[in-house]
Amino acid sequence: MHLSLGIMGGIVVLAWASLAQAAGDAQAGEAVFKKTCAVCHTTEEGKNKIGPSLNAVVGRHSASLSSFQYSDAMKKADKTWDDETLSNYLANPRELVPGTKMIFVGLKSEEDRQNVIAFLESQK
């Protein structure tokens, strides 16, 4: 009886951990990233382009890479890039961070946003 409760508890923990990740498809997100984001961003650690490296961005605080010159708006944004904040930013960057120098108009598709976030979560 105690053994089966322990096994059930383990299953619940594993299920919860998988739900904590983005609901998207990382492989599909990589394709969207390459098509819409890679012109300005890379996921290579320590390499910035027009925009900062997005390596390990999920969970990171906004404007926290010392090797990149962020806009004053992003420096003042005080955001943590969790799934929800990333989704809102990817939907409309200028609405979430007014004055950002990111010229991207946004990903209107919720599915594309979730897929990109799943891809970014895999880039650590």
- The SS3 call for residue 58 is coil
Residue bearing tokens 């990817």: 90
Q: pLDDT digit string (tens) for 10-25? A: 444 344 444 445 689 9
Pick the residue with more confidence: 13 or 31? 31
pTM exceeds 0.85 for this model: no
Domain boundaries, the chain: 24-121
* Contact assessment for residue 32 and residue 108, using Cβ atoms and an 8 Å cutoff: no
pLDDT of residue 16: 40
How many Cβ atoms sit within 10 Å of the Cβ of residue 117?
Answer: 26
Angle between helical axes of 110-121 and 26-36 (0-180°, round to 10): 100
Mean pLDDT of 57-77: 97
Class of domain 24-121: mainly alpha
